Structure 1
Amino acid sequence: MPADASPPIPLGDVASEHSEAHDRPAMAAGVIILAMFILGGLDNSVSVIARDTGLWQFHFIRACIAVSLMVGMARFGFINITPKRRWAVALRGGMTAIAMLVYFGCLAFLPLGQVAAGLFTAPIWVMLLSAVFLKQKVGPTRLVAAAIGFVGVLLVLRPFEGGLNTLALVPMIAGFFYACGAIATRQWCVGESAMSMLLFFFISLGVFGLLGATFLTLWPHDVPAGPDGFILRGFGEMGGLSIGLTILQAVGSMIAVGLVFKGYLLGDAAQVAIYEYSLLVFAAGWSYLLFDQSVTPMSVIGMGFIILSGIVISLRSRGA
């Protein structure tokens, strides 16, 4: 999942900072797996935050914290956040921010494993969008891999269980916009620093959060209690636990994304991207430990299909 806050970066978006030799694959794997372990725990906390906080306020506060940290680090010379093409990183950040709004919005209603499965349709969307709009050739191997991955997503999301459940398909929208952001990265953001892209992602997310929370605050409407009101709440009082978890989300996701960037510097992007699929395993594991949410055998098979599909598409798209 992209070089952004909590999501994984299934496509290897950090294509601009490969300044170190790709000769430490074992360390790269360990760094990426550690990052996915952290993200799996962090994202499970959203279902707790959703009990008394709104999606928009959560993203606004989280973005303010992250942007403040990044600006401070830049002033001390630790990171470079100045883009070469502001419009490019802004557009890329906006599309990825939409993906994360959908992703986190779904976490209030669906288990993290299901939501992550929808996000990991991004490689399939990239392949299809590249073929249609960029006229890139797609061979039979990747077509078969995409079909296997889609079957895997259906096995995890189970949209037809007990009748058509369109809500279960919503996480795939996150995968679509994430794919758009990945394509924008490769088409327009080559040479941009990873941290400048991350900064504009957070800025976009903060702007969306501010606009959404302001609108919902000014618009009189009924808001269901608990997680059901997550996407309908505007600005309001947050509980101490939600405030603490939001701060943890901001700081923890910065650490995890930093680890992801480091992983891409240590190893070949095609191989490193494969390890990001460990998020599916950690998401399910954290959900079980924290909320006793078990994973069905069918979901395990589906996750296996998604991982297999992603590995094949990632390697074949880079000529491996």
Structure 2
Amino acid sequence: MSGNLRGALFMTLAMAAFAINDSCMKAVTADLPLAQAIFLRGALAAAALGLIGLYRGRLRLRFARSDAQRLGLRSLGEVAATLIFLTALRHMPLANLSAIMQALPLAVTLSAALIMREPVGWRRMAAIGVGFCGVLLIVRPGTDGFDRWSLLALVSVAFVVVRDLSTRRLSPDVPSVSVAFLAAISVTISAVFLLPFSDWAVVGPTQSMLIIGAATFLIAGYLLIVMAMRVGEIGLVAPFRYTALLFSIVLGWAAFSELPDAITLMGAAVIVATGIYTFYRERKVGQVVATPVKAPLHLR
């Protein structure tokens, strides 16, 4: 099996793991308060990442001042994105939320061009514009099909952009597992501050299994996506991140009896098509500048 084929397989499995994590969190937050669920999952994920980092000898907590500042900004983006994403997930179909999140590569490309002055040609800019039209098809502002929680999903995308751009500016010697560990700790601590304003429910066997499953698949997704980026060319492997939408549609139907309507599917198709074209253009010109999975640290 070639490196690119293995990378595509690892990326696909990573997207499946993240989709299962999201499904577990959506199911468990139907019974448990959101802050409690985030705290319990975060504590398990942080412990696992800490052990992985110690085992590999890559867990560091002291960094240069510039990296520490970027890590602080990244953690802020991670915390806000996680809280907003999971809040939206409680109130809207999994597939619809996943479809909106597929606009992330386009949003990162645009932000990198505007904020970091990275070169983006007119073809990619046109693709970004078309992709965001696909987002409008899903959100449908001003129509009967408008869902206000979709706007919350867009806010989550904005904070993920902050997270990913901050990650891109970290020094190469900052271990990925250390970044992920700090992000997990940050999300868990944020939940601790929210606990006094939230109820604490009894955790039964079903909720326990869902939380353990969410943490397990979250860590599995992280490890698989790192493996994908190490064995394959990013321009060929990265488009397989869009398989997350397929997994979300299947899991949303199987677990929650949710299916997106035709307009949502059309918008998702536009986003995916323009995203893949953007990856293609980046690979063609030798500029992979807008791939969030370059620093694969998802802790939503």
Establish whether TM, by shorter chain, passes 0.5. yes
Pair 1:34-2:13 in alignment: yes
1:303 aligned residue (250, 265, 268): 268
Is the 8 Å Cα contact of residues 114 and 156 (structure 1) preserved in structure 2?
A: yes
Deviation at 1:317, TM superposition (A): 4.0
Structure 2: distance between partners of 1:112 and 1:66: 22
How far apart, CA to CA, are the structure 1 residues paired with 2:88 and 2:57? 32
**In 2, Cα distance between equivalents of 1:245 and 1:270:** 34
More displaced, 195-204 or 307-316? 307-316
Matched, 1:153 2:135: yes
- Note if contact 2:25-2:37 (Cα within 8 Å) is conserved in structure 1: no
Equivalent position to 1:198, from 180, 191, 199: 180
Gaps of 5+ in 1: 1-22, 217-232
Corresponding residue number in structure 2 for 1:279: 244
Residue identity over aligned pairs, in percent, reads 22
| Distance in 2, Cα, partners of 1:124 & 1:234 | 38
Partner residue, 2:39: 60
Counterparts of 1:63 and 1:87 in 2: how far apart (Å)? 22
Q: Which amino acid aligns with 1:265?
A: R
SS of residue matched to 2:58: coil
Q: Following the alignment from structure 1 to structure 2, what is the Cα–Cα distance between the partners of residues 165 and 252?
A: 29
Query: Which residue in 2 is equivalent to 1:16?
Result: none
Query: Are the aligned partners of 2:49 and 2:219 in contact in 1 as well (CA < 8 Å)?
Result: no
Q: Give 1:163 deviation, angstroms.
A: 6.6
Give the drift of 1:49: 1.0
Contact conserved, 1:89 with 1:196, CA < 8 A, in 2?
A: no
Larger % of helix: which?
A: 2
Note if 1:120 corresponds to 2:102. Answer: yes
The CA distance in 1 between the partners of 2:277 and 2:57, in whole Å, is 34
- 1:81 corresponds, among 47, 53, 59, to 59
Shift of 1:133: 2.2
Are residues 1:50 and 2:32 paired? Answer: no
Of residues 102-111 and 51-60 in structure 1, the stretch that sits farther from structure 2 once superposed is: 51-60
| Equivalent position amino acid for 2:10 in 1 | V
Q: Which letter does structure 2 place at the counterpart of 1:307?
A: V
Q: 1:263 offset after TM fit, Å?
A: 0.5
Whether the aligned pair in 2 keeps the contact of 1:88 and 1:189 (CA below 8 Å) is no
- Cα pair 2:49 2:180 within 8 Å, conserved: no
Higher mean C-alpha displacement, 293-302 vs 170-179: 293-302
Q: CA deviation at 1:172?
A: 1.0
Aligned residue number for residue 226 of structure 2: 261
- Letter aligned with residue 247 of structure 2: F
Query: Closer, same or farther in 2 for the Cα pair 1:272/1:301, shift >3 Å?
Result: same
The change in CA–CA distance for 1:120 and 1:92 in structure 2 (over 3 A counts) is same
- Give the number of equivalent residue pairs: 280
Name the residue aligned to 1:293: 258
Q: Structure 1 309/190 Cα, relative in aligned 2: closer, same or farther at 3 Å?
A: farther
- C-alpha deviation, 1:89, in angstroms: 2.6
Hey, what does 2:85 align to over in structure 1? 103
| Cα offset, 1:79, TM superposition | 5.4
- In structure 2, the CA distance between the partners of 1:189 and 1:54, relative to structure 1 (3 Å rule), is farther
Quick one: distance in 2 between partners of 1:180 and 1:190?
A: 19
| Conserved 8 A contact 1:158-1:168 | no
Work out whether 1:130 is the aligned partner of 2:112.
Answer: yes
